[in-house]
Amino acid sequence: MAGGTRRDEQVRATREALLTAAERLFAEHGVYAVGNRQISEAAGQGNNTAVVYHFGTKADLVRALIRRHAEPIEALRVRMLEGIGDSTDLRDWVDCAVRPITGHLADLGRPSWYARFIAQVTADPALYPIAEEEFYATSPSLYDLEAGLTRCVPELPDPARAERADMTRHLIVQMSVDRERALAAGTRTPSATWHDAATGLVDAIVALWRAPVTPAG
């Protein structure tokens, strides 16, 4: 039993080392620019087949990386959603869209690579469907979040609502990327903390959702 436990711990440690190395390399160089050999070497693994052994294909590795962060982000979002209940205040719902992400990034410390990894994945036509599938499979509270946002802006036509939801996702990801990159490089950031950065982002996204819609034509 003790031997089995040690073996399990070694396997978990190896998987974590591979995930950390892959996330950093993917964030810094792009998913398809990084090979399994590079990941194994960066993780301190002499076996170049370690990635395939523990995860399978590159798409499987991407899924594992998304799941690695999904649980803490989902937990933060669920607590926030429980706190606002049936609020009709748009800002409450935008908070629930933004702060679980920025809160998780703050918890990761410095440096982190999650935002830059997600930016790489969601910008790739082949990987985006995988990421979207994983997000909704591991984060069921996203459905409640989308329903709450929709209730707060009933006057928005469906195409405008969908477009602004896309804009919201892009703003959250890209502003998180910019701050994460700056923190990793040790350069100045507009906001002192992730909390302050989230507040500015929420201000902008609330204004985005409340902006008038220009009639077609």
> Contact at 8 Å (CB) between 136 and 130?
no
Q: Is residue 145 part of a domain?
A: yes
Residue-range definition of the domain harbouring residue 70: 58-210
What is the tally of structural domains in the chain?
2
**Predicted pLDDT at 216:** 78
Domain shared by 75 and 133, yes or no: yes
Q: Give dist(CA 42, CA 36) in Å, integer.
A: 10
Q: What is the pLDDT of residues 181-193, one digit of tens each?
A: 999 999 999 999 9
Domain shared by 82 and 161, yes or no: yes
For the chain, the C-alpha Rg in angstroms (whole number) is 19
Domain shared by 98 and 34, yes or no: no
Q: Tell whether the model's pLDDT for residue 1 goes beyond 60.
A: no
Identify the domain boundary among 56, 80, 103. 56
Give the count of beta carbons closer than 10 Å to the beta carbon of residue 76.
19
Q: What is the pLDDT of residues 61-91, one digit of tens each?
A: 999 999 999 999 999 999 999 999 999 999 9
34, burial (CB in 10 Å: exposed 0-12, middle 13-18, buried 19+): buried
